[in-house]
Amino acid sequence: MVSKRKKGGGCLRVLRTALLLLLLVAVAGGAWVWQRYSSFAGAPLHGIGAGATLVVAPGDTVPKLLHKLRAQGVGDGVDLEWRALAKKLDVAAHLKAGEYALQPGMSAEDLLRLLCSGKTVQYKFTLVEGWNIRQLRAALAQATPLKLQTAGLTDAELMAAIGHAGEHPEGRFLPETYVYSRGDSDIALLERAHAAMDKELVQAWAARTPDLPLQSPDDALILASLVEKETAAAEERPQIAGVFVRRLQIGMRLQTDPSVIYGIGAAYDGNIHRKDLETDTPYNTYTRDGLPPTPIAMPGRASLEAAVHPAPGDALYFVAVGDGSGHHVFSKTLAEHDAAVASYLREYRERNRNQPR
């Protein structure tokens, strides 16, 4: 009986020792795994170059994103470590679609938190003051990575696509810089630009100078487009508007070349000829009274402001100075204007004569 107890006690000691060893191994292994995981989560990732981005598509999973990262040369960590970190950060529930800028030196935790932030790469599109609808559409077609959805549409179809069927597109989009993300469409951008112009026009019309010879906000938009095309000098815009307003008040034709040029359309060769001034079109303000039927360009805020707050005065004429500055000489009488035109022609010929051939 004594020998049996000794034998049983020995087996128990062996078992306890084995269990203790197993526990120590488990603890050591767990500590090693935790140390490796912690080191991976916060360590700088390798393989991220300057300008690198990662696109998260709708429905992407963590394994799908790991595949994209591996394809871009980011080989740090095993999938188990990435999945453990993603679970800790609850990435699956907070992942936001879009394009994200990856920074050299960022950690795996930094990267996953970024993909949940919604702070996507932003692109800019600048709608330039004075552009017409053809120029705007051509620029949109070259904007990368804006999604082009209007390429095959007519102008009328384009306006219907943005919810303004039957409206002429000219002048209806506010010149400014618009920010967009990869995946956004040109239709969405145009909707924003149209809404911005509507807002500016409503505000400008509500604050207009009393007794203007304008019947509606659309008239103000048309006048603003003429001002926009007549001068690039901001300080002259109210004066230009003042000349046009006084002409409208006394029934004098506007006789503005940019409107005639707009009526010529794509056939315009860079020069305006006498026959162009004499050929009647809806936009020929030499042959027709009043404002043209639509805007001729996209006016900026300054031109809108000038149209509804024209400068007072008595000038009925203006002509370029002729020195290349873009400024104008304003005249009250036709005789004064003719003298200013003669001076302009002299300056113009002198400049051309002195230019190298």
Residues 125 and 196: their CA atoms lie apart, in Å, by 15
| pLDDT per residue as tens digits for the range 139-198 | 999 999 999 999 999 999 999 999 999 999 999 999 999 999 999 999 999 999 999 999
Task: Determine what percent of the chain is predicted with pLDDT higher than 90.
Answer: 76
The residue written with tokens 């409208």 in the block is 248
Cα dihedral 270, 292, 193, 265 in deg (nearest 10): -30
| pLDDT per residue as tens digits for the range 272-299 | 999 999 999 999 999 999 999 999 999 9
Residues 306 and 228: their CA atoms lie apart, in Å, by 10
Residue 324 pLDDT grade (very low, low, confident, very high; cuts 50, 70, 90): low
Q: What is the pLDDT of residue 116?
A: 96
Q: What is the pLDDT of residue 2?
A: 47
Amino acid in the structure at residue 353: R
Q: What is the pLDDT of residue 76?
A: 86
Residue 14 pLDDT grade (very low, low, confident, very high; cuts 50, 70, 90): low
Q: What is the pLDDT of residue 287?
A: 97
Residues 27 and 30: their CA atoms lie apart, in Å, by 5
Q: What pTM value is reported for the model?
A: 0.82
Q: Are 274 and 343 in contact (CB under 8 A)?
A: no
Q: Hey, what domains does the chain have and what are their CATH numbers?
A: 51-121 (3.30.1490), 123-201 (no CATH), 209-354 (no CATH)
CB atoms within 10 A of CB 281: 16
Mean pLDDT of 209-238: 96
